Each structure stands twice: as structure tokens, then as C-alpha cells.
Amino acid sequence: SSSREDSVSAAAAVVQVQQRRHQQGKVTVKYDRKELRKRLVLEEWIVEQLGQLYGCEEEEMPEVEIDIDDLLDAANEEERALKLQETLVDCYKPTEEFIKELLTRIRGMRKLSPPQKKSI
């Protein structure tokens, strides 16, 4: 009887994995792939720049979180710049160029909020 239970639980595990894969597939379809790609490139650039600013590898970097959607929510460039300055307050190197470049790069980007269901 126990080998039958094992095969049943193994089958259930396979179904779960397939469901998870299916869900991941749906997520990428819901969002505009170009927008996701731009976001990924931007995030990689941010990590690289923070490494240079803090003079360390990603693993050694202090806990610095730059939330792009949060920046996009800001009313204007000045507010965005202030948020970034507050985030980078511990950085001993000048951050003005990084902030200016980041603000330029996010111009025209959209928030990645969950997409609205299209009404028929």
C-alpha cells in the first residue's frame, strides 16, 4: 500500500510543478515583455552602479533598496531625487551623477502594477 501512496504523492508533486510553471507563464504574458526587459536592464545597471558607489561586490553591499515603482509614483523629478538621496545617505562617494542618470533612465517608464483585466 505504501508504494501506491508514494506514486500518488509523486504524481501530486508533478501536477504542482506544472501548475507553477503555468502560473509563471501567465505572469509574463500579462506584462509587456519589452517593459519587463527594460526594467531588468535598469535593475542590473542600478546594482552595477551601487557596487561602484559603495566600492564593493553585490554580496557585501549595504541594504540599499531602490524601488522603481515607488520613484515612478513620486509627483516630480525633485521628489524622486530626494527619495534617492535619502536612500543613498550612507554612501560616502558623490551620488549626484548616479541620481541624474537614473532619473533620466526611468523617464517614460510605466509602473509594473498588475494589469487590469480587459473588459469584453
* CATH number of the domain that residue 39 is part of: 1.10.150
**pLDDT reported for residue 23:** 54
Determine contact, residues 71/86, Cβ cutoff 8 Å. no
For CA atoms 73, 40, 103, 86, the dihedral sign is: positive
Give the least confident one: 36-45, 94-103, 110-119: 110-119
- Averaged over 12-21, what is the pLDDT? 56
Residue 112 in grid coordinates: 509594473
Judge residue 114's burial from the number of C-beta atoms within 10 Å of its C-beta, 0-12 exposed, 13-18 middle, 19 or more buried. exposed
Q: Has residue 49 been placed in a domain?
A: yes
- E runs forming strands in the chain: none
Q: Is residue 81 part of a domain?
A: yes
Section 4-20 average pLDDT: 57
Can you give the pLDDT at residue 108? 86
Please check whether residue 11 lies inside any domain of the structure.
no
102, part of any domain: yes
Domain that holds residue 81: 33-107
Q: What is the CA radius of gyration of the chain?
A: 21
56-112 residue pLDDT tens: 766 677 788 899 999 999 999 999 999 999 999 988 899 999 999 999 999 988 887
- Please report whether residue 22 resides in a domain: no
Specify if 19 maps to a domain. no
Domain count for the chain: 1
